[in-house]
Amino acid sequence: MLKVDNLKITARSSHEVLVKKVSFEVGKSETLGLIGESGSGKSLTSKAIMQLLNKRVFSTEGSIKWKDTEILGRNANLPKGYRGSQIAMITQNPMTAFAPMIRLGKQIEMGFDLKGRQAKSDFYEQLDSALKKVNLNDMRKIIHSYPDELSGGMLQRVMIAVTMMQKPDLLIADECTTAVDYASEYMILKELEKLRKDGMSMIVVTHDFGVAARLCDRVAVMKQGEIIEQGNTFNVFTSPQEDYTKELAHASVLFQEDVC
Ligand SMILES: Nc1ncnc2c1ncn2[C@@H]1O[C@H](COP(=O)(O)OP(=O)(O)O)[C@@H](O)[C@H]1O
Ligand SMILES: [Mg+2]
CATH superfamily of this structure's domain 2-259 = P-loop containing nucleotide triphosphate hydrolases (3.40.50.300)
Nearest-CA residue for atom 7 of ligand 1: 11
pLDDT of residue 260: 41
Contact 25, 3 (CB under 8 A): yes
**To test the ligand 1 pocket, which listed residue (10, 37, 44, 172) has its Cβ within 8 A of the most ligand atoms?**
44
CA dist., res. 13 & res. 175, Å (int): 27
Contact 148, 100 (CB under 8 A): yes
pLDDT of residue 247: 86
- Judged on CB neighbours under 10 Å (0-12, 13-18, 19+), 133 is middle
Q: What is the dihedral of CA 85, 86, 91, 96, to 10 degrees?
A: -50
Nearest-CA residue for atom 25 of ligand 1: 39
| Intra-chain end-to-end CA distance of the chain, in Å | 39
pLDDT of residue 259: 44
Residue 92 backbone class (left: φ over 0; alpha: ψ -120 to 50; beta: rest): alpha
CA dist., res. 69 & res. 62, Å (int): 13
Nearest-CA residue for atom 16 of ligand 1: 41
E strand residue ranges, the chain: 2-11, 17-26, 31-35, 58-66, 69-70, 87-90, 170-174, 201-206, 218-223, 226-232
pLDDT of residue 250: 76
pLDDT of residue 256: 53
Could you state, in order of their start, the residue ranges of all structural domains in the chain? 2-259
pLDDT of the chain along its 260 residues, tens only? 999 999 999 999 999 999 999 999 999 999 999 999 889 999 999 999 998 899 999 999 999 999 999 999 877 777 877 877 899 999 888 888 899 999 999 999 988 888 889 999 999 999 999 999 999 999 999 999 999 999 988 998 999 999 989 889 999 999 988 878 888 888 889 989 999 999 999 999 998 888 999 999 999 999 999 999 999 999 998 888 999 888 887 777 655 544 44
Distances (CA, A) of 73 to 124, 223, 227: 37, 24, 21
CA dist., res. 250 & res. 209, Å (int): 10
Q: Are strands 17-26 and 87-90 parallel, antiparallel or unpaired?
A: unpaired
**To test the ligand 1 pocket, which listed residue (7, 40, 59, 93) has its Cβ within 8 A of the most ligand atoms?**
40
* Ligand sitting nearest the alpha carbon of 175: 2
